[in-house]
Amino acid sequence: MSKVKMAKRNDFWQRNRLSDGYLLKKTILNYALKILRFLLMFGLCFLILQPILNKISVSIMATKDIFDSTINVVPRNFSTENIRLAVYLMDYPSALTNSLLISLSISLVQLISCTLVGYGFARFNFPFKKFLFACVILVIVIPPQTISTSLYLHFRYFDIFGIVSLINGDTANLRGSAIPYYLMSVGCMGLKNGLYIYLIRQFFRGIPKELEEAAYVDGCGTLSTFFRIMLPDAKPILTSCFLFSFVWQWTDNFYSGMFLGKTKLLSTELESLADTLGNYLADGKGTQQVSVGYVQQINSIGTLLVVTPLILLYLIAQRGFVESLSQTGIKM
């Protein structure tokens, strides 16, 4: 084995002499680039993982370790008591179930409606097409907070051309339920729906029209071509949009606080965790001052409880996403 290595080494230096030192310079440059890429990737990964690692460290500390200035990362006293407390305060099983059901169903509804609209923009010509697509761009640019008052009034006093008030004698109050979520998602006005329409439209525009024309020649109609030809090719972008939609719905507290009322979700429970902790510690004994360090510890645990299901979802979905890309000839 050593003879083989010596032969390769001698061959390298021989080729380097023949190239007037160019081979050595090229090899050094390649190794320098590899080291630079490693340092950049390590730095980026550290920036992403360091906050999560800090929260994990804080979550398993005993309360007295928080106020110990000699402890930096590794706790001296391990404890899961605060984790159990955070799970109790957030009513984690109920909030997790509600978040999973609502986020999953809303994401599916958004994916279906945005796929149909994006395909329509990419392949069909109809009146006011450019104007309507400009409205889609506005939905992306304008934050939803600017229309929060209109949304509140619209669903608080919901009526369709006076039909609801004609039947019931009064308008319908849809706040406190998930119905506004679904209505807005069906109408492509849900959270980030404009972005999904834009991405799906751009993807379909990149697919050659000859595929559809060949399907039409073979006797396929518009719907048959869409479901049998276009959708299988759109698996990568549909998977991406679904994951984006699920994650944004999972962490959203704007629409949740406006419409869902007392429905327990992980995002809303995390937002009110500090107040819940104060009320729990007071427990009818009057006002009790809660230390900032203890509140931050409980908030860190709550953040981990919210993020952990997303990490598990990513690990589960990554394999399916890579497989869908490989089916289209894209390699990762």
The pLDDT tens digits for 93-132 are 888 898 889 889 999 999 999 999 999 998 888 888 889 9
Confidence (pLDDT) at 328: 41
Predicted local confidence at residue 262, as pLDDT = 75
Give the integer Cα–Cα distance in Å for 110 and 274: 33
pLDDT band at 289 (very low <50, low <70, confident <90, very high): low
Note the pLDDT of residue 154: 82
pLDDT in tens, 234-256: 888 998 899 889 988 888 888 88
So what's the pLDDT on residue 12?
65
Q: Over the stretch 214-236, which tens digit does the pLDDT of each residue have?
A: 888 888 888 888 888 888 888 88
Question: pTM score, two decimals?
Answer: 0.76
Q: Is the pLDDT of residue 164 over 90?
A: no
Tens of pLDDT, residue by residue over 44-54, are 888 877 888 88
Question: Which sign does the torsion angle of CA 295, 296, 302, 306 carry?
Answer: positive
User: For residue 329, what pLDDT is reported?
Assistant: 44
**271 band by pLDDT with thresholds 50, 70 and 90:** confident
Q: 3-class SS at 78?
A: strand
Half-sphere exposure (CA, 13 Å, Cβ side) for 106? 29
Measured between alpha carbons, how far is 132 from 198 in angstroms, rounded to an integer? 12
pLDDT at 324: 45
Q: What are phi and psi of 172, to 5 degrees?
A: -100, 140
Mean pLDDT of the chain: 81
Query: Considering only CA atoms, which of 210, 209, 230, 228 is closest in space to residue 220?
Result: 228
Q: How high is the pLDDT of residue 70?
A: 73
Asked if residue 323 has pLDDT above 80, the reply is no
**pLDDT at residue number 325:** 43
